Amino acid sequence: MVLEDKGDKGLYGHWNQLKQLKKKYPNLKVVISLGGWTWSKHFSDAALPANREAFVKSCVDAYIKGNVPDKNGKVVPGLAAGVFDGFDIDWEYPGSAGNDGNVVREEDTPNYTALLAEFRKQIDAVQPGLLLTIATPAASSKSEKIELEKVIPSLNWINLMTYDFTGPWSATTGHHATLIGGAKDRVSVDSTVDEYLSRGVPANKIVLGVPFYGYGWTVNSLDNNGLYQPAIAKAKGPLEAGSAPYSYLKTLPGTVHRDEKTRAVWKVNGKDVWVYDDVQLLKEKIAFVKKKKLGGIMAWELSQDSADAELVDTIYQGLIKK
């Protein structure tokens, strides 16, 4: 059922709906994510010394101070104040290639450190206690371009993107979010967390990322139950080839396999091989978070959960409910 958006003192749309949600749940914190895989092209430009202060100010003016246009296009000071409680900076990736066409410079590394310090400075000047977080890569070839020990003082926590280790772009099938690294896995959750810890990141500032989706390939050979086999095509998904939400994979016919060492799970449906996280694996990752005393779990993304929010409820039951 879609309800009419009646507005709140001139604020309409998604931002007003967030405002109403926060009125209903006063302890809810909402942060705006800047960047992402498809929106990081010009982060390198924004982080340059000549642009950094003005870029951050524009973000703070709009998202924190709430100086945004009304429905008539006139900027109204404070119209959206209080909707957002901070920023999540999702630059993919400083000093490393991401999506095709992204601007990459060697000086991205120190500029990223300075950019985060500028965000912290400006949001603290508006309201101490506002949140500043970052989304960071699992692969060491990319995380090594981030000065973790220098950015930590600016941040409330780090969201580890511990997924997409393999995917439809890979020539062979493989796990995309395996908990424990096996002989044929280049990246794993445990090795990524250990690396961040070894570089001085406090455990309680590490938030583990989990996927609410899976990746699939079509193969000729079902040797090793289809794992680490050459792919001949992307498996047919409900919306796009090679990708599917947990809600779809949960009910997809097929045989579920589990690796006793890596704890990874996958499903074979005919000649299609799908890798994903199920409830059992998610519980094991929750246990891992508790053992390592990490700051929590984040997920990409909510709409891919089952209709009864099975994965979200598993996280809630395992980490939050007393």
Active site residues per annotation: 92
Q: Can you tell me which residue has the tokens 């990490």?
A: 294
For 187, the token pair is 């990246």
Pairing of strands 243-245, 213-219: antiparallel
CA angle 218, 226, 268 (to 5 degrees): 70
- The number of beta carbons lying within 10 Å of the beta carbon of residue 209 is 21
Distance in angstroms (rounded) separating the CA atoms of residues 38 and 160: 18
Torsion sign over Cα 25, 31, 36, 41: positive
Torsion 45-46-52-58 (CA) sign: positive
What is d(CA 56, CA 119) in angstroms, rounded to the nearest whole number?
Answer: 6
Q: What contacts 84, CB < 8 A, 6 or more positions away? A: 18, 30, 31, 32, 63, 64
Tell me phi and psi for residue 181, to 5 degrees.
Answer: -70, 135
